[in-house]
Amino acid sequence: SSGINAEYGYRGCKNKGNNNETCVNWMRIPSGWEHDYGFDRSTAAQEGIGDHDYCRNPGPMPRLGPWCFSPSISHPHVLLKVYCGINEDNCNSKEGCAGYTVPEKRTKGGKV
């Protein structure tokens, strides 16, 4: 099983935080912030960072799951790091991506 490592390479299209926060386009993040949050613009493409607002998981270990920057409700010019609620059970989901269809609900062990 790819287990939790699959989250590191998340390439889905979810663009909301765990509490429905709005993600900001990665290209709008002020220069220098990557040092505070531990990701490197020189390897951004390999990390899935680009001209989009999708949750990604850049940075050094340990990684706690895909995240994005979201404007603070009280101070919209302040960007906060928010986690997107993506775990090993849903890390391969392409929810929000073009052509995505909602999968049938599957239950473990066949019981609801």
Percent of residues, the chain, with pLDDT higher than 70: 63
- Which tens digit of pLDDT belongs to each residue from 34-87? 666 766 777 778 888 889 999 988 876 667 788 999 999 899 888 899 999 887
- Which residue do the tokens 């850049």 mark? 58
Sign of the torsion angle spanned by Cα atoms 75, 76, 78, 84: positive
Q: Give the contacts of 8 (CB within 8 A, at least 6 positions apart).
A: 57, 63
Q: What is the pLDDT of residue 89?
A: 65
Check if the beta carbon of residue 47 is closer than 8 Å to that of residue 37.
Answer: no
* pLDDT surpassing 70 at residue 1: no
In this prediction, residues 22-43 reach a mean pLDDT of 79
* pLDDT surpassing 50 at residue 4: no
Closest CA to 74 of 14, 25, 15, 21: 21
Structure tokens at 97: 């991506």
**Distances from the Cα of 68 to the Cα of 42, 60, 95, 104, 110, angstroms:** 18, 15, 16, 28, 35
Q: What is the pLDDT of residue 88?
A: 65
What is the rounded CA–CA span in Å between residue 88 and residue 53?
Answer: 21
